[in-house]
Structure 1
Amino acid sequence: MQIGQISSAKHDIKPPARRVNSAEKAAIIVRFLMTEGANVPIGELPEDLQAELTQQMGSLRRIDRETLIQVVEEFANELEQTGLTFPKGVAGALSELDGKISPKAAAQIRKRTGVRASGDPWERLRELDTDKLLALVDDESTEIAAVLISKIDVKKAAKMLGEMPGERARRITYAVSLTNSITPDAVARIGGALIAKIESEPERAFENPPVDRVGAILNSSRSATRDALLDGLNAQDEDFASEVRKAIFTFKHIATRVDARDVSALLRVVDNDTLITALAGATDDLTKPSAEFILANISNRLADQFREAIQERGEVSDEDGETAMSDVVAGIRGLADSGEILLSEEIDA
């Protein structure tokens, strides 16, 4: 054999592929996919695996072509043999089914299995209303409350502090100044613990508390019925009766709980005929001040028109008057519930 032929034969001989372990194979595949322009979601891996993968990619330096081909072919064969994959564990399944099963069902599964909700817990906490957040941190330490106040919307935080007892609000405000050194991991754990606390609460049949439900019923009751029931409640449970009185809003409360500037909003949600009937029926000592309050806080021209219409209407029956006054109250309640107006906290029932 000539020297040229020997040299050519040597070039035809492929060097053996390099022996690599599973961690190195993973690093090779990730590097190869990234080189080909694929978006590899490495951030979804556990942090320890992210660290190991990064370390492997930094230590391999150079891989020969035969080794690359062997690793890629092995990876491709495994993909071809895979018919269907399922998310890993209950946490993975819940993540896949997010938005496809009800929040209550997901919460029950987490409670039974001990799996915490995925994602940023603070996103869920920021969506809670002020009352829910206040109840959530009511028995928490000042430091925990300070972290929560620091992570939510500024307006919502201000509202929370305004509804807390003065001394606790001051302590929490001071504690905010001490949160500068808290680590992101600690903040994440606090958020996760607060979410777990919410999910551990027993499922309730009624969304609204008893006070609100009874208050809503009495708001729609005739005055005689409402007074009799309140007297009965007071005899059974003075504290509960007192809370119910706070939840009640009737026509007589308009003068004391509605801001004069908000009366114009009432005209948009209650038709003139209903309002005139209510004003005509408000003739006793309890309801007349509210009728005068409404007339005093609309334009003089419109007030004169209403007074003229009331005179033309004449006397209205108690039933018609109470029905119209209930419609007026329902309109004000709707404005308050939508946040368009704010009722004061005067509680005389």
Structure 2
Amino acid sequence: MNVSSPLNNEFAISRRRKAAMIVQMMISDGGNLSLSQLPESLQELLTDELGAIRLVDRDTVLGVAEEFIAELGSLGLSAPGSRDGAIAALSDHLSPTVAARLREQMESVRFGDHWHIVIDLPNSRIVDIMNAESVEICAVALSKLPTSKAAAVLAQTPGERARRITYAMSLTADISPDAVHRIGQSLAKEYGRPVSSAFDKAPAQRLGAILNSAVTQTREEVLGGLGEDDPEFANDLRKAIFTFKDIPARVKPTDIPNCIRTVDPAQLSSAIASALAADEPVISAAEFILSNVSQRMAGQIREEAEELGTIKKADAEAAMSSVTSAIRDLVESGTITLRDPEADTDE
């Protein structure tokens, strides 16, 4: 019977062998070790060392365990221990540009499996892959996704494009693992990095802010032209624009007192006076404001508005703009939230 001799002198044991013994102790106690984070060469050495151990006497086990505990007690700091580990630890604290560049330099990125980066991308980003890459690459990418995510991505892919991709999946049976690896590496590098933009707001929000300050005629002409050229963008733009006539649909009734609190009383009276003399949507906005303040305040504003009489068009635009600007300021500060005009509401 070929059985290795028991180990009975812990001082004659190499540090590598002691490490293997500690791992065995932890595994025996049900510990969950992240050994996969070690370099593959160390994982193989650890396996060889553990495979060479057969029997170890109790005194030797206790001696190795005590030495291990003593070393743990003397440690004052635990650091990543590798450049890859340092990059992973610091990436959330670095600028996005530097973090992205350093991630590309990680050994695990250059030589490891990159598909987890692609799989973790938001659905909208994977849809970009479906629309931009060849159908063969899209078929491989779709095959690597979890079933539920693949179904969601496919549903957001244009019909004809989706049909071609699903057909291409039938041609991937003989694709080599190396090819799949390289496709994952390429997609992770191209789509895994943060998308940089010169602007912090979407185009509709930027143009909407400009049109909010424009005169009514200019605003309507721009919206009319965009409605013919790009209906989808025009619809997004209308949601970003907030004018006086949008108040009833966008502002909660309970927020009205707070909205007009910072408006100059003279400007508020001018806004109401000019609005009550305008077309129906603007009249409705004025009545909405008056119906959601106290009766005393509403009566006072009506009296002042009647005394003002006819308001010049430029003065009317400025007065109503002062009201909407006050509301937008409250939105920007997070004090109130505008309602979505297309959302169902019980109010």
TM-score by length of 2: 0.54
Number of the residue aligned with 1:95: 88
Look up the equivalent residue of 2:53 and give its one-letter code: L
Aligned length: 299
Residues 20, 49 of structure 2: 8 Å contact kept: yes
Q: How does 1:204-223 map to 2 (within 5 A)?
A: 204-223=197-216
Distance 1:311 1:139 in 2: 59
Relative to 1, partners in 2 of residues 1:99 and 1:19: Cα closer, same or farther, differing over 3 Å?
Answer: same
Relative to 1, partners in 2 of residues 1:16 and 1:89: Cα closer, same or farther, differing over 3 Å?
Answer: closer
Q: How does 1:48-87 map to 2 (within 5 A)?
A: 53=46, 57=50, 60-64=53-57, 87=80
Number of the residue aligned with 2:321: 322
Distance 1:337 1:169 in 2: 42
Look up the equivalent residue of 1:289 and give its one-letter code: P
The alpha-carbon deviation at position 321 of structure 1 amounts to 2.5
Q: How does 1:1-349 map to 2 (within 5 A)?
A: 24=17, 26-31=19-24, 41-42=34-35, 44-45=37-38, 53=46, 57=50, 60-64=53-57, 87=80, 89-111=82-104, 116=109, 121=117, 125=121, 135=128, 138-139=131-132, 141=138, 147=145, 150=148, 164=156, 167=159, 196-200=189-193, 203-223=196-216, 226=219, 230=222, 239=229, 243=233, 246-247=236-237, 248-251=240-243, 254=246, 258=249, 263-264=252-253, 266-267=255-256, 270-271=259-260, 274=263, 278-283=271-276, 288-292=280-284, 295=287, 302=293, 308-314=299-305, 315=308, 317-318=315-316, 319-328=318-327, 341-344=339-342
Relative to 1, partners in 2 of residues 1:227 and 1:221: Cα closer, same or farther, differing over 3 Å?
Answer: same
Residues 245, 285 of structure 2: 8 Å contact kept: no
The alpha-carbon deviation at position 42 of structure 1 amounts to 3.2
> Which consecutive residues of structure 2, in runs of 5 or more, have no partner in the other structure?
1-6, 168-180
Residues 295, 303 of structure 1: 8 Å contact kept: no
Relative to 1, partners in 2 of residues 1:209 and 1:295: Cα closer, same or farther, differing over 3 Å?
Answer: same
CA RMSD of superposed structures (Å)? 6.2
Relative to 1, partners in 2 of residues 1:198 and 1:271: Cα closer, same or farther, differing over 3 Å?
Answer: farther
The alpha-carbon deviation at position 62 of structure 1 amounts to 0.8
Relative to 1, partners in 2 of residues 1:149 and 1:271: Cα closer, same or farther, differing over 3 Å?
Answer: farther
Relative to 1, partners in 2 of residues 1:169 and 1:108: Cα closer, same or farther, differing over 3 Å?
Answer: same
Distance 2:160 2:332 in 1: 31
